[in-house]
Chains A and B, each alone.
Chain A
Amino acid sequence: MNQRILMKGNEVIAEAAVRAGCRHYFGYPITPQTEIMHYMAHRMIEAGGVMVQAESEVAAINMVYGAAAAGARVMTSSSSPGISLKQEGFSYIAGAELPAVVVNIVRSGPGLGGILPAQGDYFQATKGGGHGDYRNIVLAPASIQELYELTVDAFNLAERYRMLTMIFGDGTLGQMMEPVLFREEEPINRPDRPWAVTGTQGRREHNTVQSIYIEADDLEQVNLRLQAKYHEVAAQETRYETVGCDDAEIIVVAFGTCSRISRNVIRQAADEGIKVGLVRPITLWPFPEHILDQLSQKGHVRAFLDIELNSGQMLEDVRLAVNGRRPVHFLGRMGGNLPTQKEILEKIREIAGRS
């Protein structure tokens, strides 16, 4: 039974959500993530769940807000312009402390931009996006197998911390096919949800789900509680992968699709006698600053190279973590273009003084 199946990234996300116990999906079509909706349209019926095609991304995220308030495992998915529209709901979900999973299969911008892959929504995803002091947990898978596993994790994290958890993919991951191995059954351990609106059933006082607090002291207390939660998430849930960092002279920092390309270049650089390591953030928020801080203090590390599908957004977080101790170089492509292995190798040679 446990055999690998060849599947498209977007469909894996949808299947993973259903396996994780998600029975409510609200969406609106946008390329390059629409296969998630297509898959949900039949799969939710089979699973006894609900799929609603909303009138807009704004409506979809507010349906998510309602379903989450009602205590359901709920998801929506979109791509960059649609995610911009959903920001209002993200802020309310953060304020009301509701669990929800959002998928962003990032395309290139700004504006309507293009439908090709990009990582230009990094700031939006990790620094807030909507109004107010809040954070989302942001997971950045780099393979189809990881899309599956992180989608399942996203539901658990969302409910554990009552936070919006985002799967931050890009058009490449959404559209490509790779073998995926599904576990036979997902263990679903949902925390109690005494805060949910279910009707009082005459058994308790009435519940309210809200994000508004008119009194300054009340609202400050809410914010202090949120910040304490975010600190706990940063302490408990920061994830990253390192490859060959023990003796590397150059550390590449890249996530998602960029990390896949970079991984191949590490071997090619080694053939030329340049020791290159990779730090791959798996959580973009909380950002794995600690490992970069540590590496920047190692004698063997001479420089960092940040590679992204944007103009250098994570770069700011890398520089903050490195804190001026080592030079941080940058290689980025935009508009839907991907950096080639050759481009990356040339940049590494240049940093190593071998060009």
Chain B
Amino acid sequence: MEKVFARTKGLTDKPFHYCPGCTHGIIHRLIAEVMCELDILDETIGVSSVGCTYNNYEYFACDMVQAAHGRAPAVATGIKRVHPDNMVFTYQGDGDLAAIGTAEIIHAAARGEKICTFFANNAVYGMTSGQMAPTTLLGQVTTTSPFGRDADLQGYPINVCEMLATLPGAVYLERVKVTDFKSIQQAKKAIRKAFRVQQQRLGFALVEILSTCPTNWGKSPAESLAWVDQVMVPQYPLGVFRGADLEVDA
């Protein structure tokens, strides 16, 4: 028998600290697998942000920099401008990217900064224990919206891909999910395409990955995947928002 699936060399041997069933682990593995398959692990520099993934510099087997809350796109800009031939990515959550770091992500996209951003959207602040995020759905109960998010009081969720799609510098934007075998394959294809866009110096690329937070959602891991499919996807439709016609996989 031949080994047809093994832990990727793009990850270090350190066990993830994430809660049981948290999909950060799947997303990490996909990024790491793509780095290995494109043979870019030894030229890639990643940027960790603030939130549950603050220490994923311990998990990716490439060079990593830890950034302040929301600033990963600016930090990545600094790195990329020094090493334009290296691959540079940020890994950010929804609080980090869509609240405190809104200016940084918009302007990195507007500049067409040649970096990739992997944006895990789970509609909640995980690390700080379940507060309302910019992407929290209307009606969703969080520790800071205990009666459910009310548009009148707390406004509306931000659809990041749609917002960035108005910017010519953002050449590739896709929203994916990781709730089943097929969607995980699609997410991996999107991550691969984002790196290829960067390799070809086409501009800024962002993949939004709908993610889970069983702990703060108060759901089992399996219920959480179903919640993504049934509740999140209607608000955050999957698909390519820019760059559908880019041919980069050749």
Contact = CB atoms under 8 A, between A and B. Distances in A.
The answer to A–B direct touch (Cβ < 8 A) is: yes
A55 to B, nearest CB: 4
A66 B47 contact: yes
Contacts of A96: 66
A208 B71 contact: no
B104 A70 contact: no
Contacts of A88: 68, 71
B120 interface: no
A26, A60, A63, A67, most chain B CB atoms within 10 A: A63
A66 B77 contact: yes
Interface stretch (A150-158, A195-203, A275-283, A294-302): A195-203
Nearest to A89: B68
A172 to B, nearest CB: 31
B65 A208 contact: yes
B81 A206 contact: no
A206 B77 contact: no
Given A24-B81, A26-B78, A62-B71, A69 B107 contact: no
A50 interface: yes
A201 B67 contact: no
Contact of B83 (A65, A89, A199, A207): A199
A59 interface: yes
Contacts of A238: none
A210 B78 contact: no
A40 interface: no
Contacts of B57: 208, 210
Contact of B78 (A58, A65, A211, A212): A65
A235 to B, nearest CB: 31
A62 to B, nearest CB: 4
A52 interface: yes
A207 B63 CA distance: 5
A52 B86 contact: no
Contacts of A63: 74-75, 77-78, 81
B183 to A, nearest CB: 29
Contacts of B75: 62-63, 65-66, 69
A63 B106 CA distance: 15
A128 interface: no
A335 interface: no
Given A55-B107, A62-B68, A62-B71, A199 B78 contact: no
Given A55-B103, A59-B71, A62-B71, A201 B65 contact: no
B126 to A, nearest CB: 16
A279 B83 CA distance: 45
Interface string B13-56: 00000000000000000000000000001111101100000110
Nearest to B50: A212
Interface in A21-79: 24, 26, 50, 52, 54-56, 58-60, 62-72, 74
Given A59-B107, A197-B63, A202 B42 contact: yes
Nearest to B66: A210
Contacts of A210: 48, 55, 57, 65-66
Contacts of A62: 67-68, 71, 74-75, 78, 104
Given A24-B78, A59-B103, A201-B43, A206 B65 contact: no
Interface in B64-91: 64-68, 71, 74-83, 86-87
A97 to B, nearest CB: 13
Contacts of B66: 96, 208-212
A60 B64 CA distance: 20
Contacts of B12: 206
A281 B92 CA distance: 44
Nearest to A207: B63
Interface string B86-101: 1100000000000000
A337 B222 CA distance: 68
A63 B78 CA distance: 4
Contacts of B111: 52
A210 to B, nearest CB: 4
B137 interface: no
Interface string A282-319: 00000000000000000000000000000000000000
A50 to B, nearest CB: 5
A242 to B, nearest CB: 40
B60 A206 contact: yes
B58 interface: yes
A67 B65 CA distance: 11
Contact of B71 (A52, A58, A197, A211): A58
Contacts of B104: 55, 58-59, 62
A50 B81 contact: yes
12 contacts: A50-B81, A52-B77, A55-B107, A63-B74, A66-B75, A66-B78, A66-B79, A68-B78, A71-B82, A89-B68, A209-B66, A212-B66
Q: A-B pairs with the 4 shortest C-beta distances?
A: A66-B78, A62-B74, A67-B78, A66-B75
Given A58-B71, A197-B64, A199-B63, 15 more contacts: A63-B81, A65-B78, A66-B47, A66-B78, A66-B80, A70-B82, A89-B68, A197-B45, A200-B42, A200-B63, A201-B42, A208-B57, A209-B64, A210-B65, A212-B55
